[in-house]
Chains A and B, each alone.
Chain A
Amino acid sequence: MPLLPRKTALLLSSLAAALAFAGCAPKDASAPTTVKIGNLASITGKDASFGQSSTKATRLAIDEINAAGGVLGQQIELIFEDTQSKPGEAAMVVKKLVTRDHVVALIGEVISSRSIEAASVAQTLKIPMLTPTATNPAVTATGDYIFRACFIDPFQGKVLAKFARDDLGSKRAAVLTSTSSSYSTGLSKVFVEQYTEAGGEVVADQKFAEGDKDFKAALTAIRAANPDVIFVPAYYTEASLIAKQARELGITVPLLGGDGWEAPELFEIAGDAVEGCYYSTHFSADSTDPKLQAFVARYRARYDGATPDCMAALGYDAAYLLVDALRRAGSTDPVKIKDALAATRGFEGITGRIDMGPDRNASKPATILKIQNRKPVYVKTIAP
């Protein structure tokens, strides 16, 4: 009998060949002619929808910039890596992008917890990283190479608490938080603090977990507490179901949400259930701003008519913001890029004017929208 059955030998040798192939994957010989920017997001797994939106828009922005002549006289090469919605993956991806692909800067990650993971590696390797959408304050606290293109949870939580108390005149608020999402717990913590401080009372504090689709139990408890407003710091996937089930249980008070609500699917799934509800966001896809409308049109044209959500808008802005910094730095030296990013003032993005604050957080206004006739309607802008 031969040492190995033929099938096994074949299998092993093909595996070995695959490994060897990966080991000596062709290195890009044309390195000096392009500026390499790394992009990381989850396009598979649980958070795929957020990552896909964001990275599609980033790709769109970079292609536009390249068509307009690129940056520093060179074309931009956007190297994308998938983080698979898996903790532990982001750190490895950053190492790969920096040490194998030699990128000069990074755009990503989309979710806060993985952004912190990526940030700690980017900071060690001293490569500037700009996260489009991670709103947890801890992300940029990692170090001086880490920036973000969006506002942070404490700001948004404060804005919403103030709005609920002053503009809606509510006295009793209920909160429904996802315990498995740091976005949700972060936002709800600030809201509860600020709302109580402003003289309101939080009458019910209910929780749910990732993957839940039945919120009737929590909502029944909330109904019993009889609140004036229900704060739902969740993504649109959950918020739409929460709204629907709340109405089925006969709850009529308005629901209030954050930027996670911003997506066309919210109105599709929830239908009439979100009528009269409010949320804060970075931008409004129905805004009349010509720059924004142009982006929405181009995004739709390129991706089969899909309407961009706030993840996409921020992914688009992050690309332009980084390229703007590259131009001002006049070099691809990471230190200069970092300094240029930190010096960003008055950058006009589609999600509003961005000033980079001292903590490397974009300081920009939050827009509050009200849902009427299945459409978000502008209510007010709250400046930082």
Chain B
Amino acid sequence: MTELLQQLINGLSLGAIYALIALGYTMIYGVLRFINFAHSEVFMVGAFVGCYIGRLAGSVTWWSGFGALGAAMLVCGILGFIIEKIAYRPLRGAPVLNVLITAIGVSLFLQYGGQLVFGATPRTFPELFPVRHFRLGGLDVSSNQVIVMIVTVVLLVALQLIVKHTRLGTAMRAVALNPQAAQLVGINTGTVFSFTFVIGSALAGAGGVLYAMNYPSIDPLMGVMPGLKAFVAAILGGIGSIPGAALGGLLLGSAETLVSGSQFSTYKDAIAFGILILILLLRPSGLLGRPGVEKV
């Protein structure tokens, strides 16, 4: 029983990070309608920014931690803005698959550029927050796991507030629903796209720092696997849906952890994808996604 509970805690803290990355995926997809493959590389850049700031800060305090988190979100937001401006904006109106290729191009560029700039050897991620371990009964929880969950919840709520209660958020939802109609009623779609990218990328940056905090070895290819998993989580929850992304991330994290703690651990990824396929067959638009009606 204790083991199961421990696995659940492990799963939730892993899932919280997946959820955070999935939020960015789902936002960008919801508004721009394409899979931003470069998202996992923005995540990687976030981790590296956190690493440099952490080293600069020297001492480990709550301030250094939140400073690094904020800096990573800022830098990644700017990076997202630049990527959107240079690589995606010129392709507005082009078929979705073309944008996909550009996304793959940007992703490869950041991966291999990262290997050149940061080096391919994994680096140590410094401690950002003061670390403490709690032991409750037979359960072990580290303060980093708690921080991950709290930050994820805070960002999730903040995002929900922005989307539901600000002018820009309303504009975003309008563009997501129908870009042409949104433009007709005077919404500057360009601004909305930029804004979406900035927010999505900032979330990826935060995810990068939190991930690296828990798994303190970072390298330029570190984004690939979590990125893929978060993508899966986003679709699982119903792409475009913010609570869906969070739910998908948590579910995927828990499922993965439970399987890898069992005797079927060799087939962990196969089982995770198998479950996913089953869910999609039963609910083709994801857990919380609205089934879209296609019109001629």
Contacts and interface: CB of A to CB of B under 8 A. Distances in A.
Decide if A and B touch, CB cutoff 8 A.
yes
A209 B269 contact: yes
A44 interface: yes
Interface stretch (B69-77, B172-180, B256-264): B256-264
A208 B268 CA distance: 8
Contacts of A28: none
B11 interface: yes
A268 B120 contact: no
A221 B261 contact: yes
Contacts of A48: 115, 120
Contact of B122 (A208, A221, A223, A237): A237
Interface in B1-32: 3, 6-7, 10-11, 14
A265 interface: yes
Interface in B126-177: 133, 135, 140, 142
B225 A211 contact: yes
A281 to B, nearest CB: 18
Most B CB within 10 A of own CB, among A46, A48, A217: A217
Contacts of B258: 217
B10 A214 contact: yes
Contact of B215 (A44, A241, A249): A241
A121 to B, nearest CB: 25
Contacts of A248: 133, 140, 142
B262 A207 contact: no
A217 B217 contact: no
Interface in A201-235: 206-209, 211-214, 216-218, 220-221, 223-224
B261 A217 contact: yes
Contact of A216 (B10, B224, B269): B10
A269 B124 contact: yes
Given A49-B120, A217-B257, A269 B10 contact: no
A74 interface: no
B10 A217 contact: yes
Contacts of B268: 207-209
A87 interface: no
A179 interface: yes
Contacts of B260: 206-208, 212, 217-218
Given A49-B121, A216-B10, A249-B140, A206 B217 contact: no
Contact of B221 (A46, A221, A223, A241): A46
A269 B120 contact: no
Query: Could you tell me the dominant secondary structure of chain A's interface residues?
Result: helix
A374 interface: no
A46 B265 CA distance: 22
B111 to A, nearest CB: 9
Interface string A262-278: 00010011000000000
B115 A44 contact: yes
Nearest to A221: B261
B120 A52 contact: yes
A269 B3 contact: no
Interface residues of B, number: 40
B266 A49 contact: no
A2 to B, nearest CB: 23
B112 interface: yes
A49 B11 CA distance: 30
B219 interface: yes
B284 interface: no
Nearest to A250: B140
B208 to A, nearest CB: 12
A53 B122 CA distance: 12
A43 interface: yes
Contacts of A244: 216
Contacts of A224: 3
A237 B220 CA distance: 13
Contacts of A194: none
B102 to A, nearest CB: 16
A46 B225 CA distance: 12
Contacts of B124: 265, 268-269
B9 to A, nearest CB: 9
A89 B89 CA distance: 35
A250 B221 contact: no
Contacts of B14: 214, 216
Most B CB within 10 A of own CB, among A45, A213, A221: A213
A214 B17 CA distance: 11
30 contacts: A44-B112, A44-B115, A48-B115, A49-B120, A49-B121, A49-B122, A52-B119, A53-B121, A179-B266, A206-B260, A206-B265, A208-B260, A209-B268, A209-B269, A211-B224, A213-B211, A213-B225, A213-B226, A217-B10, A218-B261, A220-B10, A221-B261, A223-B3, A237-B217, A241-B215, A265-B122, A265-B123, A265-B124, A265-B217, A269-B216
Given A44-B120, A212-B225, 4 more contacts: A44-B112, A208-B265, A214-B257, A269-B122
User: Closest 10 interchain pairs by CB?
Assistant: A48-B120, A211-B225, A213-B215, A217-B261, A216-B10, A217-B260, A217-B257, A49-B121, A268-B124, A221-B261
